[in-house]
Structure 1
Amino acid sequence: MSNAVLNGLAGAGGGIIAQIITYPLQTVNTRQQTERTAKTKSKTNQPSSSSNRGTGGNTLVQLVQLFQAEGLGGLYSGLKPSLLGTAASQGVYYYFYQLFKNKAEARAIARKNEGRGDGTVGMLSWLVVAAIAGSLNVLLTIPIWVLVTRMQTHTQAEKKIMEARMESARREMSTANLSESEIKAKLAELASQKPRPYGTFLAASEVYNEAGIRGFWKGIIPTLVMVCNPSIQFMIYETSVKQLQSKRPSIKTQPNDKKLSALEVFLLGALAKLSATVATYPLLVVKSRLQAKQEIGRDVMSRYTGTIDAIMKMIRFEGLHGFYKGMGTKIVQSVFAASVLFMVKEELVKFFLFIARKRHIRAIKSRDR
């Protein structure tokens, strides 16, 4: 098994485990990001009362509220395509990352042999390697994440659509010759309607009906720009690993054994992801807004035609605060997920190498008999 394939499989396994553990936080965070809250009330383009209500309470409160309202199904809405997306994304990313990393390291050694450089890969090279791997990953897997975002925010969007319909019905009935009891009965009937079951196939059909095949690549521009997130993350991670290993004395019996412990990998992964998340979070919010269901019958602040339109409307109606909605939740979720991913991935790589060595030794012994 090649080094790139081994790292791809280990990355996919680590990503799946991290995703399962942190998925409820991801669901809450996506809903926080897609919540529209006006910065000021004005007579023109004033959002309805439901739009003006943010997602109240801290993350823990929102987790409890979501569980009470929708159960585990709400917390893990879209988990199946998300696990598929995680396995595909991490597998694709780590495969290409390791492939280009090997080439970068081989090139650095070749330059050293030619008398140029010290044989190590520089920061810029790490950024390029991570950027290329990230871009390929985005182009191949973004349709899965469009569906995941739709499924995570479906109930939230349906509730807002229902609120708009009730407001419209209330205005219509107030002008008709209906008694107070008749109005209350009709509004109660509308309020009793529950969002329809929403699976992967229905989400895919909805995306296709709205925008055709292009709809599956919604948010591609901010997502591609966000390639700098894992680029920053891996640059910090690889640089930190190299620095830590360089300060660690080699064991005499195993001069090349400078492997980090699971805890060290966990902490370095957390540091790298924290730095990358803070730097690129506004792009993540724009991406989620574009991929979420555009609320029907709402005011102009709720509908976006593209990346630039989303950015301009967020600045106009919500201010800079809108670009950082739910960042605390995202930091906790992404840092913990990245730390678990790095730790599990490294342990899986060690396990796969151990199994490979065992098989190699067994093959040599059986050949010598």
Structure 2
Amino acid sequence: MSNALVNGLAGAGGGIIAQIITYPLQTVNTRQQTERVAKQKGLITLDGSRSSPATRGTIFQILQVIRTEGWGGLYSGLKPSLFGTAASQGIYYYFYQVFKNKAENIAAARKKRGLGDGTVGMFSWLVVAAIAGSLNVLLTNPIWVLVTRMQTHTQAEKKIMEAKSEAILREASESGSMDLSKFEDKLAELDSTKPRPFGTLHAVREVYFEAGITGFWKGIIPTLIMVCNPSIQFMIYESSLKHLKAKRAANKRELKNVNALEVFLLGALAKLGATVSTYPLLVVKSRLQAKQEIGLNSALRYTGTLDAIIKMVRYEGLHGFYRGMSTKIVQSVFAASVLFMVKEELVKAILILAGGSRKILLNIAK
């Protein structure tokens, strides 16, 4: 079994475990990112409501979701997300290892010719991670569009209901009719309307009817730019790992292998640096992938990446690009730490199992 395949399988397994553990934080964070809050207006949101979930604490929002939607609300879109995580991590780690092997072979060949010390430099790590990340994004973006829709569906439905209620009240005010019973009946009917079920197939239909096939690649531009996130992450991780091993070798320590806790901490450090530097792109991506038709305000709808950036700066200010970042830092750093730790342990386990299977086959052959 090639080391690229081993790393691909281990990356998929580690990604699934990390996703399950941190998914509630991811759901809340996506809702925070897609919430519009106008600048200089306190708690007055762009759609006219006076209470914005994005301005409240993460714990409060988690409890609010549990109260109004049950535990299932925190895991909206989990199934496609798990599939997407497995596919994404598997594809990423597979191609990352393939191109990493090529980079190491090139570095070794250069050393034989008297060029370099035989190690892969930081720029090479960035290129390797960027190529693997780009292939991953192009292949898995439709999955994440569906996940974003499912995570923000309840939020979008709530805004639509609020817009309908405001329209009924406005109609009643403008009509000047003394008979308010028909408007009260409309409001009562609206209040009694239960949220429609919204599964993966519903999300697929919504995206397709809204924008066609190209709708599944919404947010692809900021997502491709965000390839620098794992590039920065792996540059920090590989460089830190290399430095730690070199330091131990120089000190002639007996324990030269890095343990699970050290991998956990290195993964946390790497993800923290990558998340802080690329978070605004993540917010723009989530805004583009979420349902656009919320209310009648054009400020709530984006036609593309540039339009989203311009409207966010105009209506929300620079603060809008960092909405929910504290939640994302906790979620992504913890998820990355778990992923790196589990991945390294799974690589060891797969190699042990593969070695055991090889011995059994050799014994049978004898």
Output the TM-score relative to the length of structure 1: 0.94
Do structure 1's residue 183 and structure 2's residue 187 form an aligned pair?
no
State the shift of 1:250 in Å: 8.8
Q: What amino acid maps onto 1:89 in structure 2?
A: S
Residue of structure 2 equivalent to 1:341 = 339
Residue of structure 2 equivalent to 1:281 = 279
State the shift of 1:192 in Å: 1.8
Q: What amino acid maps onto 2:331 in structure 1?
A: Q
Q: Determine if contact 1:151/1:199 at 8 Å carries over to the other structure.
A: yes
Residue of structure 1 equivalent to 2:326 = 328
CA distance in 2, matches of 1:356, 1:258: 24
CA distance in 1, matches of 2:307, 2:40: 19
Question: Which residue, out of 252, 267, 270, partners 2:268?
Answer: 270
Residue of structure 2 equivalent to 1:303 = 301
CA distance in 2, matches of 1:178, 1:262: 72
What SS is found at the alignment partner of 1:247? helix
CA distance in 2, matches of 1:86, 1:14: 9
Q: Determine if contact 2:172/2:180 at 8 Å carries over to the other structure.
A: no
Q: How many residues align?
A: 363
What SS is found at the alignment partner of 2:262? helix
Do structure 1's residue 129 and structure 2's residue 105 form an aligned pair?
no
1:67-125: CA deviation from partner (whole Å, max 9, x where unpaired): 11101221000001000100000000000000000000011011111111001000000
Residue of structure 2 equivalent to 1:235 = 235
Q: What amino acid maps onto 1:159 in structure 2?
A: K
CA distance in 1, matches of 2:53, 2:65: 14
Residue of structure 1 equivalent to 2:167 = 168
Residue of structure 2 equivalent to 1:61 = 60
CA distance in 1, matches of 2:138, 2:226: 12
CA distance in 2, matches of 1:75, 1:48: 24
Q: Determine if contact 1:36/1:52 at 8 Å carries over to the other structure.
A: no
Residue of structure 2 equivalent to 1:27 = 27
Q: What amino acid maps onto 1:355 in structure 2?
A: L
Query: 1:105-116 maps to which residues of 2 (within 5 A)?
Result: 105-116=104-115
CA distance in 2, matches of 1:213, 1:58: 37
State the shift of 1:191 in Å: 1.7
Do structure 1's residue 197 and structure 2's residue 197 form an aligned pair?
yes
State the shift of 1:195 in Å: 1.9
State the shift of 1:248 in Å: 1.4
CA distance in 1, matches of 2:95, 2:342: 19
CA distance in 2, matches of 1:229, 1:51: 35
Structure 2 unpaired stretches of 5+: none
Q: What amino acid maps onto 1:109 in structure 2?
A: A
CA distance in 2, matches of 1:47, 1:119: 56
Q: Determine if contact 1:22/1:333 at 8 Å carries over to the other structure.
A: yes
State the shift of 1:330 in Å: 0.2
CA distance in 2, matches of 1:77, 1:15: 18
Residue of structure 2 equivalent to 1:216 = 216
State the shift of 1:360 in Å: 2.9
Q: What amino acid maps onto 1:171 in structure 2?
A: R
State the shift of 1:4 in Å: 0.6
What SS is found at the alignment partner of 2:270? helix
Give the share of equivalent positions with the same residue, in percent. Answer: 71
1:219-246: CA deviation from partner (whole Å, max 9, x where unpaired): 0000000000000000000000000011
Do structure 1's residue 358 and structure 2's residue 347 form an aligned pair?
no
Q: What amino acid maps onto 1:318 in structure 2?
A: E
Q: What amino acid maps onto 2:186 in structure 1?
A: K
State the shift of 1:366 in Å: 4.6
State the shift of 1:49 in Å: 2.3
- Cα RMSD over matched residues? 2.0
State the shift of 1:357 in Å: 2.0
Residue of structure 1 equivalent to 2:15 = 15
CA distance in 1, matches of 2:215, 2:47: 27
